[in-house]
Amino acid sequence: MLVSISINGQVYSHDVEPRVLLVHFIREYAELHGTHWGCDTSNCGICIVLMDDPNSDQPPYPVKSCTMLAAMAEGYEITTVEGMAKPDGTLDPIQQGFHEMHALQCGFCTPGMMSTGRWLIERHPNPTQMTDHEIRDGISGNLCRCTGYDNIIKAIRWAAAYIEEHPESARTAR
Ligand code: FES
Ligand code: FES
Domain segments of the chain: what residues? 2-83, 93-168
pLDDT of the residue at 167: 86
- Gap from CA of 167 to ligand 1 centroid (Å): 32
Q: Is 141 in the pocket of ligand 1 (CB under 6 A)?
A: no
CB of 43 closer than 6 angstroms to any ligand 1 atom = yes
- Residues with CB under 6 Å of ligand 2 are 104-110, 144-147
**Rounded-to-integer distance, Cα 120 and Cα 88, Å:** 25
Mean pLDDT value of segment 96-107: 98
**What CATH number has the domain spanning 2-83?**
3.10.20.30
Check pLDDT > 60 for residue 174. no
Four-way CATH pick for 93-168: 1.10.150.530, 2.30.40.10, 1.10.150.120, 3.40.140.10:
1.10.150.120
Band of the pLDDT at 23, cuts 50, 70, 90?
A: very high
DSSP per-residue string spanning 116-160: HHHHHHHH-SSGGG--HHHHHHHTTT---SSS-SHHHHHHHHHHH
- Which of 156, 54, 139 is CA-nearest to residue 100? 156
